[in-house]
Amino acid sequence: MSLADWSKIFCTIDAMQVAYAEAANDWLLWSAEDSVVRFLEALVNDDIDLARTMLDPDVTFANVSLRTLRGRARVMRMIERLARSRVHYDVTVHHMSACGSVVLVERTDALTWRGLRMRFWVCAHFEVRDRRIVVWRDYFDWFDVAKSIVGAVFRGPRRAE
């Protein structure tokens, strides 16, 4: 390898270290809302590592009317199962409000499987400590979910956009 090649390698490493340092410093400035937005983006993008980082080791996830999951390992198993499945998750945030470490989110979740797209509203309550989510509670209406499933079946598969 020539000196120029080595120089390119070291410049690339330096640039990566600077980018990492900037990201780390940016992370220190995140508000509770920033943490929730980044977490939801990680779920949409199947960014398992970022999602794991955003959750506190002692996180509690309550999908109201379903079983409550306690601990990052259990919550991550659920997230990893969704990421490995053929179901694509998407989210549209309609409103978000924060008071200190508590963030409330009104959103529409979309689950797409084999072209069938099911959309339903969800309200969420997040509690954030040190930029990590310690409580994640989702509220939704089973009737709304059922209407979405029936609608998706009658509409049929969507074509790729």
- Which residues are bridge partners to 108 per DSSP? 92, 121
- Map out the domains of the chain with their CATH numbers: 31-155 (3.10.450.50)
Other Cβ atoms less than 10 A from the Cβ of 158: the count is: 12
The predicted pLDDT at position 7 comes to 47
| 56 is known as an active-site residue | no
Active-site pick, 14, 47, 138, 141: 138
In angstroms, how far apart are the furthest CA atoms of the chain? 67
- Quick: pLDDT tens for 94-103: 999 999 999 9
The predicted pLDDT at position 159 comes to 53
In this prediction, the residues of the chain whose per-residue pLDDT falls under 70 are: 1-29, 149, 151-152, 154-161
Active-site pick, 109, 130, 141, 144: 109
The predicted pLDDT at position 83 comes to 83
| 34 is known as an active-site residue | no
CB 63 within 8 A of CB 79: no
- Which residues are bridge partners to 117 per DSSP? 112
